[in-house]
C-alpha cells in the first residue's frame, strides 16, 4: 500500500521524547536491518533482544557522546513490526541532536522519520489497525482523565473488536444472500428460512448502540465549543471565571470591559469544554469606538463556530423596555441551528419572585455567589448529548461517527428491500456490501491512501 511517505521501506530515526530538557531523552530507529547502526553507535555486533544494556554511545572517533541504555527489539516483536533500536540518553536537547546526527551518519540510507511514521509502519505491518493507531495519538493528546482512559481502551482494541464483530455479522448475512443469488428457485423462501430480517434488526440495533458510544467518545476527544454571548455588563466574564475557577478575564462594573475573545478549556465530568468569553454585543450603531466594533465582529465570528451558545441576560434589568428590546433583537440574530441555553445572571441581586417572568427552560444563576452553576454544568452536558456512563465509552473521531452513520443508512436500506414481498436480493446484497465497506473503513480494511496520509501526518515526530 502506498502512503504519503515517499520511501516507506527506508530505515528511519527520530527523537521520540518531547522537545526541551528532561532527565531522559530517547532516540528511536526502525528498519529491516539495524545491525550497522548497533555496531557503530553501541560498539557491539549485537544486543540481547528486549533487554536494556548500559553502555556508552560512541561518536565517529570512538569517543563517548553519553552513557545510557540501549534496547533492541528484533522484528517482528516490536512496535513497528521491524527491527527497532531505542537509545535512552540524558535529556539535554543538544545531546539528543548530537546522538540523532550520529545515527544518521553511522548508517547509510537512514533518514529522519516523518510525523507518525513509526505508528504508520505498525499499521502497515498489522501490529495495529487504523482505529488503534488513531487511539495512540488520542492518548497522547487526551486533555481529561476520562479521555485518556477511553483512548487506552481503544488502543487496547475495544473499539476495533466491536467493529470487527459487527462486520463479521454483516459478512455472514452477505454470504447467505449472495449464495442464494446463484439459485433463483430458492429466492422466494430465502428471507424466511435465513431469518434475514430478524438478523438485520439485531445488527441495526448493535450499530445504533455503537454509534451512541462513538458519539460519546468523539465528545470526549474533541470537546464542546461553548460561547458566552450577550449585551455588555451581563456578567459573561464573571461566568467564565466562575466556571474556570480562576480569574481569567477582567471584571469591572464598566460596560464593555471585554474587548476581545478570552478562551479557556475546562472539564465537566471528564468532558472538555472550550469556553469563549466575547465582547458584549451591541447593535452596530451603538458601538462606542473602532476597538469595540472589532471586538463585536470577533464575537460574531466565535458565535458562528459554537457548538452551544450561552445567551446571558441580566436578571436585575429584566422588564426594562430598552434592555428587553435590545435582547430580543440580538436573540433574533443568533444562529437558529446552534443549540442555545438562556441564562439569567445576577440572581443574587433580585428577590425570588422577580425572576418569575423569565422564559420556561431558562436558568437563573449568580456568577458572583456560584448559585445555579451546577445546574448550568448539567445543562451543558445534556445539550452536548453526554450520558453519565463513561466507563463503557471508547475514544472515537468524527470519521468513525460518520462511518457508523453510513453503515446504519445502508442497513436500513437493506431492511427496506427485505421488507418488500418480492424482495430484490441483488439490491439487498449491494446494500449489505456497502454497509460492510463503510464499517470496515474504521479499522482500515478499506480506506483511501490520502486518508492515511491525513491521519498519520497529525502525529508527533518520533511516534
Residues of the chain with pLDDT under 70: 1-8, 182-191, 246-261, 283-289, 292, 351-361, 387-392, 421-423, 446-455, 457-458, 463
Check residue 15 and give its pLDDT.
95
Residues 116 and 60 in one domain: yes
Q: How many domains does the chain have?
A: 3
Best CA proximity match to 400, nearest among 158, 65, 82: 158
Look up the CATH number of the domain holding residue 177: 1.20.120.430
Look up the CATH number of the domain holding residue 64: 3.30.1360.120
Residues 171 and 191 in one domain: yes
pLDDT digit string, tens, across residues 289-346: 677 677 778 888 888 888 888 899 888 888 888 888 888 888 888 888 888 888 998 8
pTM for the model: 0.72
- The answer to whether the bond into 76 is cis (omega within 30° of 0) is yes
Check residue 58 and give its pLDDT.
95
Residues 116 and 237 in one domain: no
Phi first, then psi: what are they for 76, rounded to 5°?
-95, 10
Domain that holds residue 25: 12-127
CA distance 406 to 16: 37
Question: Could you tell me if residue 452 is inside a domain?
Answer: no
Asked if residue 262 lies in contact with residue 240, where contact means CB atoms within 8 angstroms, the answer is yes
Give 281's DSSP letter. P
Residues 228 and 100 in one domain: no
Q: Based on the number of CB atoms within 10 Å of its own CB, is 35 exposed (0-12), middle (13-18) or buried (19 or more)? A: middle
Amino acid at each position: 500500500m502506498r502512503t504519503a511517505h515517499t520511501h516507506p521501506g527506508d530505515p528511519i530515526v527520530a527523537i521520540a521524547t518531547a522537545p526541551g530538557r528532561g532527565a531522559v531523552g530517547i532516540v528511536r530507529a526502525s528498519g529491516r536491518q539495524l545491525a550497522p547502526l548497533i555496531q557503530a553507535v553501541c560498539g557491539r555486533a549485537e544486543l540481547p533482544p528486549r533487554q536494556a544494556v548500559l553502555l556508552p554511545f560512541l561518536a565517529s572517533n570512538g569517543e563517548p557522546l553519553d552513557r545510557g541504555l540501549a534496547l533492541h527489539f528484533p522484528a517482528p516483536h516490536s512496535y513497528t513490526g521491524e527491527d527497532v533500536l531505542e537509545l535512552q540518553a540524558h535529556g539535554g536537547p543538544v545531546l539528543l541532536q548530537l546522538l540523532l546526527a550520529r545515527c544518521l551518519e553511522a548508517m547509510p540510507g537512514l533518514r529522519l522519520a516523518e510525523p507518525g511514521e513509526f505508528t504508520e509502519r505498525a499499521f502497515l505491518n498489522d501490529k495495529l489497525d487504523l482505529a488503534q493507531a488513531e487511539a495512540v495519538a488520542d492518548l497522547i493528546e487526551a486533555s481529561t482523565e476520562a479521555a485518556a482512559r477511553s483512548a487506552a481502551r481503544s488502543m487496547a482494541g475495544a473499539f476495533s473488536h466491536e467493529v470487527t464483530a459487527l462486520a463479521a455479522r454483516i459478512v455472514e448475512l452477505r454470504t447467505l444472500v449472495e449464495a442464494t443469488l446463484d439459485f433463483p428457485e430458492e429466492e422466494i423462501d430465502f428471507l424466511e428460512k435465513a431469518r434475514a430480517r430478524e438478523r438485520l434488526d439485531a445488527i441495526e440495533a448493535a450499530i445504533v448502540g455503537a454509534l451512541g458510544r462513538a458519539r460519546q467518545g468523539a465528545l470526549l476527544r474533541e470537546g464542546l465549543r461553548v460561547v458566552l454571548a450577550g449585551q455588555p455588563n451581563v456578567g459573561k466574564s464573571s461566568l467564565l471565571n466562575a466556571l474556570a475557577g480562576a480569574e481569567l478575564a477582567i471584571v469591572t462594573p464598566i460596560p464593555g470591559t471585554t474587548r476581545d475573545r478570552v478562551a479557556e478549556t475546562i472539564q465537566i465530568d471528564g468532558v472538555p469544554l472550550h469556553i469563549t468569553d466575547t465582547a458584549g454585543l451591541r447593535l452596530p450603531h451603538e458601538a462606542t469606538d473602532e476597538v469595540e466594533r472589532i471586538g463585536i465582529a470577533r464575537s460574531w465570528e466565535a458565535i458562528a463556530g459554537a457548538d452551544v451558545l450561552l445567551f446571558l441576560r441580566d436578571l436585575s434589568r429584566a422588564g426594562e423596555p430598552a434592555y428587553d428590546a435590545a435582547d430580543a433583537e440580538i436573540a433574533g440574530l443568533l444562529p437558529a441551528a446552534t443549540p442555545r441555553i438562556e441564562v439569567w445572571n445576577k440572581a443574587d441581586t433580585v428577590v425570588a419572585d422577580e425572576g418569575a417572568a423569565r422564559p420556561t427552560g431558562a436558568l437563573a444563576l449568580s456568577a458572583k455567589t456560584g448559585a445555579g452553576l451546577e445546574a448550568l454544568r448539567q445543562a451543558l452536558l445534556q445539550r452536548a448529548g453526554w450520558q453519565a456512563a463513561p466507563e463503557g465509552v471508547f475514544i472515537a473521531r468524527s470519521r468513525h461517527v460518520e462511518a457508523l452513520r453510513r453503515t446504519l443508512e445502508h442497513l436500513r436500506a437493506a431492511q427496506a428491500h427485505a421488507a418488500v414481498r418480492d424482495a430484490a436480493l441483488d439490491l439487498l446484497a449491494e446494500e449489505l456490501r456497502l454497509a460492510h465497506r463503510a464499517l470496515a473503513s474504521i479499522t482500515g480494511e478499506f480506506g483511501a491512501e490520502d486518508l492515511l496520509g491525513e491521519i498519520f501526518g497529525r502525529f508527533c515526530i518520533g511516534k
